[in-house]
Structure 1
Amino acid sequence: MASTSHRVLISGATVVSMDEVLGVIENAQLVIEGDRIVSLSSEPSAAPVLAADEVIDARGFIAMPGFINAHMHTWQTALRGVASNWTLQEYFRWMHAGLATRFAPADVYIGTLAGALNQLNCGTTTLVDWCHNNPTPAHTDAAVDALERSGIRAAFFHGSPKPGPKPGQAPFWEVRHPRKEVERLLAQPRFGDERLLSVGMAVLGPHYSTLDVALADFRLARELNLTASMHQGGGPARAPDGWVVLEREGLLGPHINIVHGNDLSDAQLDRFVAAGVSFSITPENEMTQGHGHPIIGRLRHRGVAASIGVDLESGLSGEMFTAARMALGHQRSLDNEAFRRAAATFDSVIPPTSTIRTVEALRWATVEGARMLGQIDRIGTITPGKQADLVLVDARLPNMQPLHDPINAALMQTSLANIDSVMVAGRWRKRGGRLVDERQAVLDPETWLVPLRESGRRLAAAMNLSGVQKNSQ
């Protein structure tokens, strides 16, 4: 955490606050003290300048909340591009039953570190690390150590591996979530409400486990007051009536997070919404691997907004603005097609206006992630009193000029080249286009890229041992 005596003034930026009251503020004066935002106004004053330890001339920049990546398997970073042509079936077979079994704790560490640093580089300030390749406590600790070292704000969702069945061992879908491991994590002082790191549970859920396991895992999450997140969809459910039983037992609520959910019936969606369940969508991966259409629109029709994530760098980009644009474009396409099919004449097949505005898609990538994590009072918007998690977007570059609408530009024109500076809890983690450590020293990428390459080469070589062939040709 930043020292409470350190004051930063960011002067002259156009602030896209994502706060429904504050909105967009041009020529803003944004003051940060320690790890918190203390004031935001459009009135220039000499007082903040005189009192500031650091003054940033941000004229020509857009200041916006850092992205909140609501779902990512960060341990897969050393396998970038390996899974880009895989369907979900191939991913289960070759990643979980094959490659994942060859990860040592050191592989989990370097993959998580490199993945978290790349998230910072791309403008993400909060990462939900959905870690489900942790067969030992050493693997779990390696992932958490890497998140802590990176400096990102992270919700570590503790999961469990999914290897193929072995003789004499219970298959993964019959194994309850390990209570002792979760309690061990919760006892560590690096986790907590005032820390950068928090804990959640990445459980199997009734789609991927037996009913007994699902009941035990949901009860544990409720007992420990933790978010329980689970994948939903991708073949037949192992507990077909599981959700009916879980609902009857009173185990649903805002602490339950559904990832994907593409095949959910309208009736089940209605029940989830009534129970206050949250949803996280990974649009690019869902469309690529064969999950089905993302349910952004189906949720919108029920008055619910989803958070979004990038899912996995083994197959996709780690950039949240890409995920947000994919989600927006896909749902607009579905809405436009529905309008076209309902049109009475050929002359009326084009909708009169867009069904979704860009500000809504930007909320999926910021505000809704904070809401899903139960941290909307701390992060997700640039609001006085909240944590100073923000990004400075260089809108002076050719790809963003001329700047007419800062919200549209922040979502639709921003690229990695524009992510100039990233702040987490009042500390710069990227400055002037380069990642920096907590002392503001520029990080040398080779310090993590060398071991990342070594890990990636060794793991990729194991593909042949597992009977897996690259299919990018």
Structure 2
Amino acid sequence: MMKLSTAVYNAAVVLRHATFVIGAKLLAGGTIVAFDDETQQLRVIREGSLLIEGDSISSVSDSIVPDTIPIGVEVINCTGNIITPGFVDTHRHGWQTVFKTLGSNTTLAEYLKRYSASVAQPLFTPDDVYISQLAGIYEALNAGVTTILDHAHHTWTREHAIAGLNASMDSGGRVFFAYTFQNSPDFSIQDQIMHWHELASTVPSGLTTLGIAYDGWIGDPQDPDTAAVVKLALESKVEALTTHDVEGPWSSSNNPELLHWLGILNSSIPIVISHASQISARGAELLRQTNQHISITPESEMHYGHLHPTSHLILDQASLGVDTHFTFSTDILTQARLWLQSTRSRLYKAAIDNWQIPANSPMSVNQAFLLATRNGGLALERPDLGVITPDTKADILIWDARSPGMLGWVDPISAVILHANVGDIKDVIVGGEFKKRDGKLVVEDYAGIQDRFLQSARRIQAKLKDIPLPVPEGRFMGGYPYAPVLEVDVQRGEGTGYGPIYV
């Protein structure tokens, strides 16, 4: 493998420099996982280079040193490493970070009664929201998530809403902050809409974008709250609108059919329907017709039990999300891996159940990689996110391809999707700026932020532990009945099974 020497680089600069660009960076000598717009396929460039000018990628070259290099460019030697776009997370609740490890065995019904926005408000001051959101975004950046669609349902008061927004802006991550409209005591949806307008006029342009989240699509276009949200979204041409859709026995139907009937789906607004766990054939067809997307959150949907029986049938209009990262992984890499293997398992089973031998693998690592990157950008109608091509945003990951887990790789996409872990991410660049470098977050006084976060977390966790766990009896929210699920045991004997919860 060719090494990039200082002498070679300096000679190249003398011959090839063009202009002086402050902050320009050259990622040189690595294997780049780029995207080819013409073939619509991933393009692997070995021993190539990537030039960043400002917040964007200005060139991607097949050679270690491109033809044109600005004077004063910073050279990052990537020889032997893998360069990929950052991961795009299209569903997360950053404010919940302080609940870490409390929900390790919780079901969705328990979550709704214990950790959801509708019950958590008394536990949080605005400062708690701020530090929890900030720490959660740093956690995501460290794991290579460079873009987040944050379903911010901590908008109980003006102060709580502003706290989460400020944390998003201060984080340095690329955040689509979806302000949630929900009736709260002394802060109605109509009040929240007025507040949203105020924020929209004051939020500076940058990495944080103000969006909308709403779960109240009740099927009545004359409902004043729903009508007001639709009017706001259409008139403001909001850059992202998101909603939860969990159907089946859960009966939380914010589905494509309903949004289409209300006149919002077939618009120029990017709409992301989170989970869409039991999406119908009609709903899938509407997404294709309107070019709208769902966010599959594989670990969340397995963990809580709402599952995803039909999501594999609409992957052409799908992206990946994390959801409630306080209960499990914070990274999109894990979601891509889980989704790839669970989809393979589901489709293999169809053959095995008919006593047939699978003749092919039903899903490739390339498809999993695209779900984790490019598809997230497309869901947000941002083709400049989640790909490495000229004139796209410089949201980049540099992987240590000599790590113990990746050593010996040939296919860089397989190396990332099936063999890497988030600890192999050496550098994270968002908008052309390092957010993680040489394995460490680039955050001023991160230790102080950690201490401040732990103070909030310990206080909130203590309050929460004093609240008895909900007992699932009768029917879920007056609808379908609860049912016991078979519990497995990894030990022999009576009383050895589930065990205590260590909180």
State the partner residue of 1:124. 145
Q: Closer, same or farther in 2 for the Cα pair 1:155/1:50, shift >3 Å?
A: closer
Q: Closer, same or farther in 2 for the Cα pair 1:132/1:177, shift >3 Å?
A: farther
**Post-superposition CA distance 1:77-108 (Å, at most 9, x none):** 11111112111111110112433431111111
Instruction: Kindly indicate whether the alpha-carbon contact (under 8 Å) linking 1:208 and 1:238 is maintained by their aligned counterparts in 2.
Output: no
Q: Which amino acid aligns with 2:374?
A: V
Distance (Å, rounded) in 1 between the aligned partners of 2:278 and 2:179: 25
Deviation for aligned residue 1:370 = 0.8
State the partner residue of 1:271. 286
Deviation for aligned residue 1:40 = 1.0
Matches within 5 A, 1:351-390: 351-376=358-383, 378-390=384-396
Distance (Å, rounded) in 1 between the aligned partners of 2:222 and 2:303: 30
Q: Which amino acid aligns with 2:400?
A: D
Q: Which amino acid aligns with 2:277?
A: N
Q: Which amino acid aligns with 1:268?
A: G
Instruction: Kindly indicate whether the alpha-carbon contact (under 8 Å) linking 2:21 and 2:72 is maintained by their aligned counterparts in 1.
Output: no
Structure 2: gaps spanning 5 or more residues: 1-19, 471-498
Q: Closer, same or farther in 2 for the Cα pair 1:245/1:418, shift >3 Å?
A: closer
The structure 1 residue matched to 2:213, chosen from 172, 184, 202, is 202
Q: Closer, same or farther in 2 for the Cα pair 1:338/1:434, shift >3 Å?
A: same
Larger radius of gyration: 2
Distance (Å, rounded) in 2 between the aligned partners of 1:209 and 1:338: 40
Matches within 5 A, 1:18-33: 18-21=35-38, 23-33=43-53
Q: Percent identity?
A: 31
Q: Which amino acid aligns with 2:161?
A: T
Instruction: Kindly indicate whether the alpha-carbon contact (under 8 Å) linking 1:296 and 1:331 is maintained by their aligned counterparts in 2.
Output: no
Deviation for aligned residue 1:209 = 9.3
Q: Closer, same or farther in 2 for the Cα pair 1:261/1:354, shift >3 Å?
A: same
Distance (Å, rounded) in 2 between the aligned partners of 1:307 and 1:359: 14
Instruction: Kindly indicate whether the alpha-carbon contact (under 8 Å) linking 1:422 and 1:429 is maintained by their aligned counterparts in 2.
Output: yes
CA RMSD, Structure 1 to Structure 2 (Å) = 2.7
Q: Closer, same or farther in 2 for the Cα pair 1:125/1:238, shift >3 Å?
A: closer
**Post-superposition CA distance 1:100-145 (Å, at most 9, x none):** 4311111111111101111111111111121101211111111121
1:17 match: secondary structure? strand
State the partner residue of 2:421. 415
Instruction: Kindly indicate whether the alpha-carbon contact (under 8 Å) linking 1:160 and 1:203 is maintained by their aligned counterparts in 2.
Output: yes
State the partner residue of 2:335. 323
Matches within 5 A, 1:296-311: 296-300=311-315, 304-311=316-323
Q: Which amino acid aligns with 1:450?
A: D
Q: Closer, same or farther in 2 for the Cα pair 1:186/1:202, shift >3 Å?
A: same
Deviation for aligned residue 1:177 = 8.0
Distance (Å, rounded) in 1 between the aligned partners of 2:341 and 2:422: 19
Q: Which amino acid aligns with 1:406?
A: P
**Post-superposition CA distance 1:49-75 (Å, at most 9, x none):** 673421111011100000111111000
State the partner residue of 1:440. none
Distance (Å, rounded) in 2 between the aligned partners of 1:471 and 1:100: 28
State the partner residue of 2:400. 394
Instruction: Kindly indicate whether the alpha-carbon contact (under 8 Å) linking 2:272 and 2:293 is maintained by their aligned counterparts in 1.
Output: yes
**Post-superposition CA distance 1:172-194 (Å, at most 9, x none):** 8xx5683212212211242x4xx
Deviation for aligned residue 1:236 = 5.0
Q: Closer, same or farther in 2 for the Cα pair 1:255/1:44, shift >3 Å?
A: closer
How many residues get paired? 446
State the partner residue of 2:295. 280
The structure 1 residue matched to 2:25, chosen from 2, 5, 8, is 8
* Residues 1:229 and 2:229 are matched in the alignment: no
Q: Which amino acid aligns with 2:468?
A: G
Q: Closer, same or farther in 2 for the Cα pair 1:446/1:249, shift >3 Å?
A: closer
Distance (Å, rounded) in 1 between the aligned partners of 2:337 and 2:66: 40
Instruction: Kindly indicate whether the alpha-carbon contact (under 8 Å) linking 1:110 and 1:452 is maintained by their aligned counterparts in 2.
Output: yes
Matches within 5 A, 1:31-180: 31-45=51-65, 51-96=71-116, 97-160=118-181, 175=189, 178-180=192-194
Distance (Å, rounded) in 2 between the aligned partners of 1:45 and 1:433: 25
Distance (Å, rounded) in 2 between the aligned partners of 1:297 and 1:245: 21
Q: Which amino acid aligns with 2:149?
A: V
Instruction: Kindly indicate whether the alpha-carbon contact (under 8 Å) linking 2:30 and 2:48 is maintained by their aligned counterparts in 1.
Output: yes
Deviation for aligned residue 1:471 = 6.8
State the partner residue of 2:270. 255
TM-score normalised over the length of structure 2: 0.82
* Residues 1:427 and 2:425 are matched in the alignment: no
State the partner residue of 1:467. 468
Q: Which amino acid aligns with 1:352?
A: A
Distance (Å, rounded) in 1 between the aligned partners of 2:436 and 2:430: 9
**Post-superposition CA distance 1:6-57 (Å, at most 9, x none):** 2211111000114445711000111111211111111244865673421111
* Residues 1:182 and 2:196 are matched in the alignment: yes
Distance (Å, rounded) in 1 between the aligned partners of 2:78 and 2:258: 54
1:397 match: secondary structure? coil
Deviation for aligned residue 1:445 = 3.3
**Post-superposition CA distance 1:398-441 (Å, at most 9, x none):** 1101011111111111112211001011111111001114xxxx
Greater Cα shift, 63-72 or 260-269:
260-269
TM-score normalised over the length of structure 1: 0.87
Distance (Å, rounded) in 1 between the aligned partners of 2:500 and 2:196: 38
Instruction: Kindly indicate whether the alpha-carbon contact (under 8 Å) linking 1:60 and 1:396 is maintained by their aligned counterparts in 2.
Output: yes
**Post-superposition CA distance 1:313-344 (Å, at most 9, x none):** 22111011001111111111111111223x4x
Instruction: Kindly indicate whether the alpha-carbon contact (under 8 Å) linking 1:305 and 1:364 is maintained by their aligned counterparts in 2.
Output: no
Greater Cα shift, 39-48 or 125-134:
39-48
Distance (Å, rounded) in 2 between the aligned partners of 1:36 and 1:92: 41
Q: Closer, same or farther in 2 for the Cα pair 1:111/1:471, shift >3 Å?
A: farther
Q: Closer, same or farther in 2 for the Cα pair 1:141/1:281, shift >3 Å?
A: same
**Post-superposition CA distance 1:183-242 (Å, at most 9, x none):** 12211242x4xx2111110101426999724343233212221232100115554779x8
Structure 1: gaps spanning 5 or more residues: 438-442
Q: Closer, same or farther in 2 for the Cα pair 1:455/1:210, shift >3 Å?
A: farther
1:68 match: secondary structure? strand
Q: Which amino acid aligns with 1:288?
A: H
Q: Which amino acid aligns with 2:47?
A: N
* Residues 1:340 and 2:352 are matched in the alignment: yes
